[in-house]
Amino acid sequence: MVRRFFYGIMDIIRSKDNSKVKRLTLLHDRKKAAKEGLVFIEGTRLCEDALLSGVKPVTFVFCENKKDLADELIRKYDISCEITVLSQECFEKVASTVNPQGIAMVVREPDMGSDIPFRGKDDIYLCLEELQDPGNLGTVIRLADAFDFTAVILVKGTADPFNEKVLRASMGSVWHLPILKVDSVDSVFEFCKKHDIRTLAAHLKGAPIEKAEITLPSCYFIGNEGNGLTDSCSSRCDTMVKITMQGKAESLNAASAASIIGYILSTKRT
């Protein structure tokens, strides 16, 4: 058990050529990490967010000068897994941030699946069609968590939700709600039809959202940052909506639009 470890006698890895250092560094490559079903998390806040959500690390990593903080986290969250202690130079090698905080974890990637959950009449779903910017995706996941969405659905071509930039932008929300992957919007529309869920497309040609008929349960669709939703997707939605703007900007970015529409939908709950 972890409580038997005494940091004074634990081996501290000091060589950048050590196999564990090389492996941790490789896990920054999401394609390689995803093949193993693993996620690399770095930073005190991100690690603690995951631990608070019940995530169990496969490997807990810390810099030798952070042993007091590491000990506090290990005891607080009853961490029992492989513990790896690195010199500052080695930790800087495995870290992706400019000023690393000295705490990191490797965890198993949640099984996202493709089965969309149904809770009831107040359900709100967000479906993302090829949203590619990690910062936008993390922000969108965070808003979905804030407004208690039933699920976020990622259509093939959307950014990886466990990309390190997404994790940072989501501020831990990636662990709080169902995030699903689907190959196309077909299965989403089938699900919505089955459960009588109204579908809305965010589209510049849509009706002003304040005038649109909005009822719950609803699923709204946000498209690619540059191209928006595909015509094949938007044409299948019950309603197309746009956000009225009084200023000179032609449009909002995907995350901003998703946030505004998400808030408006959340106010429709009884």
Select from 169, 160, 24, 33 the least CA-distant residue to 96. 24
Encoded amino acid at 48, one letter: E
CATH hierarchy code of domain 124-266: 3.40.1280.10
Domain range list for the chain: 2-108, 124-266
Q: Is omega for the bond preceding 217 within 30 degrees of 0, making it cis?
A: yes
Backbone angles phi, psi at 146, to 5 degrees: -60, -35
User: 2-108: what fold?
Assistant: 60s Ribosomal Protein L30; Chain: A; (3.30.1330)
Dihedral angle at the C-alpha atoms of 124, 202, 237, 233, nearest 10 degrees? -110
pLDDT in tens, the chain (270 residues): 344 444 444 689 999 999 999 999 999 888 899 999 999 999 999 999 999 999 999 999 999 999 999 999 999 999 999 999 999 999 999 998 888 999 999 999 988 888 899 999 999 999 999 999 999 999 999 999 999 999 999 999 999 999 999 999 999 899 999 999 999 999 999 999 999 999 999 988 888 998 888 899 999 999 998 888 999 999 999 999 999 888 888 778 899 999 999 999 999 997
pTM given for the model: 0.88
Which pair of tokens denotes residue 113?
A: 């699946």
